[in-house]
A and B are shown apart, each in its own frame.
Chain A
Amino acid sequence: MKYILLMSGTRAGVEAYHAWPKQDINAHMAVLHGINQDLAASGEFVATQGLSGPKEAKVVRGEKNGLPVTDGIFPESKEFLLGYWIVDVANAERAYAIAGRISAVSLNMPIEVRQFATHEAKS
């Protein structure tokens, strides 16, 4: 069963993180890297990525003629995806356990856990 673990935060949260002392950021990154290595060793790792900051985010809509219209203005309260992990696990509880581990080393931030809609995609 494939799950995606989504870590989101607001613009203010991203700025606060960037203000952490460098050694704290390094320690945080090292623990996340260790989790990725554990998941790779257990065969549960599919992918992980961090995204660039909210400043560079754009929202695109197609116009009537199909041309892109970009809009970079978001409400202050909007949550942005900061990064994600895709895992392939035996059950939902295992996905929650991994999310809990990530949360524990990331200020107990909430991690959204979503299953891939594999059946719908194939129908």
Chain B
Amino acid sequence: MKYILMMNTMKAGHGVPAWPKKDLQAHIGFMMSINKELHGRGELVSAEGLAFPDQAKLIRADKDGQPVTDGIFPESKEFLAGFWIIDVDSPQRAYEIAATVSAAPGPGGAPLNMPIEVRQVMSGPPPDML
């Protein structure tokens, strides 16, 4: 069963670079060790961090099908900061991994306990729609 674990952030709340350097290093080191561990267990499909929200663009097609870019997002919007795609035996295992990621160290090494959205990845469209 494939799951995606999504770490979201508010536009105003992406204050990661303002942490002391050693706290940032501890945070990144923690994330890297989780990825290594998941890879070792054969559960990691992919993990990526995304560029900050100030570079995000919203695209719509106009009448001619041409892209129209719009970088304006509501202040309250949540942005995807990064994600993990994992292949695990049960939803419980996905939640367990999400909790580990949630507890990544923040400033002063205290666990962040940030919310992680867990969604199953579909292997294809629902059969009743084909």
Interface set of A (CB-CB < 8 Å, partner B): 2, 4-6, 22, 25-26, 29, 47, 49-52, 56-64, 66-71, 79-81, 92, 96-97, 99-101, 103-104, 108-117, 120-121
Contact = CB atoms under 8 A, between A and B. Distances in A.
B50 A99 contact: no
Contact of B55 (A29, A96, A114): A114
Contacts of A2: 48
Given A67-B99, A108-B61, A114 B115 contact: no
Contacts, number: 156
Interface of B: 2, 4-6, 46, 48-52, 55-62, 65-70, 77-78, 80, 82, 85, 91, 95-96, 98-103, 111, 113-122, 124-125, 129-130
B102 A100 contact: no
Given A100-B65, A101-B65, A111-B58, A62 B102 contact: yes
B60 A25 contact: no
A50 B61 contact: no
B119 A81 contact: yes
Contact of A58 (B48, B59, B118): B118
Given A49-B121, A56-B119, A97-B67, A22 B129 contact: yes
A4 B50 contact: yes
B102 A113 contact: no
Given A63-B99, A97-B67, A114 B120 contact: no
B65 A62 contact: no
B96 A68 contact: yes
Contacts of A71: 115
B59 A103 contact: yes
26 contacts: A4-B48, A29-B125, A49-B4, A50-B122, A51-B121, A51-B122, A57-B119, A59-B117, A60-B99, A60-B117, A61-B113, A67-B99, A68-B102, A99-B59, A100-B60, A100-B61, A103-B61, A104-B61, A108-B60, A112-B58, A112-B59, A114-B50, A114-B55, A115-B50, A117-B49, A117-B51
A60 B116 contact: yes
A104 B101 CA distance: 36
Contact of B129 (A29, A68, A96, A108): A29
B129 A52 contact: no
A116 B52 CA distance: 9
B61 A58 contact: no
